Structure 1
Amino acid sequence: MIEASLNVLGEELQPCSHSPLTGFYRNGCCDTGPEDRGVHTVCAILTDEFLAMSKYLGNDLSTPRPEFGFAGLKAGDRWCLCAGRFLQAHEEGAAPQVRLASTHQRTLDIVPLDVLRQYAQDT
């Protein structure tokens, strides 16, 4: 079951991306629920630097995986990131920009709002 769809600003959660189709539930939004153990709630605008860091850490988001219907991501794509990975990228100086209106409020359990605001593209 999907949790209440509110963003970090306390407003209705806006879509993150339909192309590429993102979200734990692959509905274009960074919705979350009990099944989403990775907390895929941060709507990020990906950068080459972040994609390289993610690949180095074992989560290769840029290489196409046609067997899974995954075309691979590139800089400029919007994607629902795990909140913990976003916080790690922030600490490593490689965090991408975020869309606060499309970032689920559950993110605030892991990433402080003032940190998210540092990377906000929509404020």
Structure 2
Amino acid sequence: MTQAAERRRRTFSYGQRAEWIALLFLLSKGYRPLAWRFSAAGGEIDLIVARGRTVAFVEVKARSAMDDALVAIGAAKRRRFARAARAWLSRHPWTAGMTWRADAVFVAPRRWPRHVEAAFELEIA
């Protein structure tokens, strides 16, 4: 395996672990999972969870330092994320009367995950 391929494999594995950590953390806060790794319209949403009348589309960011994770969601990522959220909502009309939100969970080694509700604007319209 080439060095680049090995690095991609490690990064992918690290991201998967971070998504599991984020999911367990959200479950402990009373959220229930609706989808994991939803991909559509050129975008991907790591987790889609619900609690009460709120559906949260969650971006999980894992970095070696929490501060690096906090700044890792750029404008292009937010646009792709919103496209995927619109696609998911169009397939689930039962969510029409609910509140929709773009959350983030930041994961770093030896730190508790950080859940940020409404981490960025979810441009649905």
Q: TM-score, normalised by structure 1?
A: 0.27
Higher helix residue share: 2
Which has the higher relative contact order, 1 or 2, with Cα contacts under 8 A spaced 6 or more apart? 1
Higher strand residue share: 2
Larger Rg belongs to: 2
